[in-house]
Amino acid sequence: METPLLAGKKGKSFLTLIDWEPHEIEALLQSALKLKSLRNKGEHGQPLKGKSLAMLFEKPSTRTRVSFEVGMKELGGFTVLLRNDEMQLGRGESIEDTAGVLSRFVDAILIRTHEHARIERLADAAAIPVINGLSDQAHPCQALADLLTILEKKGSLKGVKLTYVGDGNNVLHSLIQASALTGIDLHVATPPGYEPDPAVWKYSEQIAEKTGSSLSFHYDPAVSVQEADVVYTDVWASMGQEEEKEERNQTFASYQVNASLMEKAKPDAIFMHCLPAYRGLEVTAEVLEGPQSVVFDQAENRLHAQKALLVAILADG
């Protein structure tokens, strides 16, 4: 069976989307589509036979853990699950020493952690590719699956109007980069004081000038969502922000994605959410469970997008 490969990326880390060129992101998406089609036929192949992925989780996970674990096994590889309380890392061993040791044992490292700088330190010290499974600044694996979902549902990425409503968090940062790289027209609405990182926005604007993408910001979600092809939201309080939950619930109340807001988008607009979702807060049950919602297709695409990524950075040939 022919294996979808992404030439020239073996051994490359995946810390943020902008580490990769637009044509490389497009190649990843095409590879993901091929791998998904093969899986639907009951075919997987063994392009990663004997390859190993260390999965270092310093934050809880459902979709990231399951999708990478299943993905590696379907491709012929295997995973080693690592948690802080089971490692010397949790007792004070440096992230650099951990990187050096794991580089001698496994073929790649997936890390899900708090500070993005910690991922960068791990990648700098490792002799093998490192994948960002989530940090406080970026969630590139989620964005890759988001792009795959939009491509499937809308047939193209270039010129699609994507509106994000909610917190200027790590998910949004990666969506900004993803949009700039692929020609999506992104419109963002956040409350004052919860805007995305200006540095992420400014650098992405420079990329957008080359790809034909546009980035637009509004404080009013009703303005931002007008004629949108895709409406996207996320939780108002991310992991580590639990103490801010009540304050955020009040601040973000007018940013809820409900039927009234969705009516301002195009009639065939889709609704996306990276999950977990909290019905009655950032989105109503009517929208989340309604006919425009593609959240479970989006979640499934974590598997296919990440399999493409794994093949790209680990497969021989």
Q: What residues does 161 pair with on adjacent strands?
A: 185
Verify whether residue 121 is a known catalytic residue. Answer: no
Is position 302 annotated as part of the catalytic site? yes
Tell me the backbone φ, ψ of residue 163, rounded to 5 degrees: -110, 125
Residue 281: CB atoms within 10 A of its CB come to 18
The percent helix, strand, coil of the chain (3-state, each to 5) is 45, 15, 35
**Amino acid identity at 67:** S
Active-site position among 173, 273, 302, 304: 302
Residues belonging to the binding site for carbamoyl phosphate are: 61-64, 88, 112, 139-142, 274-275, 302
**Strand order across the 108-112 sheet:** 78-83, 52-57, 108-112, 130-134
Q: How far is CA 241 from the centre of its chain?
A: 20
Residue list, annotated binding site for L-ornithine: 170, 234, 238-239
139 flagged as catalytic: yes
112 is catalytic: yes
Concerning whether 104 is annotated as a catalytic residue, the answer is no
Q: Which of 107, 146, 167, 234 is catalytic?
A: 234
Angle of helix 95-105 relative to helix 116-125, nearest 10 degrees? 50
256 flagged as catalytic: no
* Bridging pattern class, strands 130-134 and 108-112: parallel
Catalytic residue (choose from 274, 298, 304, 306):
274
Of 107, 112, 177, 185, the catalytic one is 112
Residue of 142, 177, 256, 298 marked active site:
142
* Cα gap 81→176, rounded to integer Å: 30
Task: Report the binding-site residues.
Answer: 61-64, 88, 112, 139-142, 170, 234, 238-239, 274-275, 302
Closest by alpha carbon to 218, among 248, 189, 243, 194?
Answer: 189
Which has the closest alpha carbon to 270: 245, 294, 241?
Answer: 294
Greatest pairwise CA separation for the chain in angstroms: 55
3-class state of residue 257 by DSSP: strand
Q: Which of 107, 116, 139, 167 is catalytic?
A: 139
Q: Which residues are annotated as catalytic?
A: 112, 139, 142, 234, 274, 302
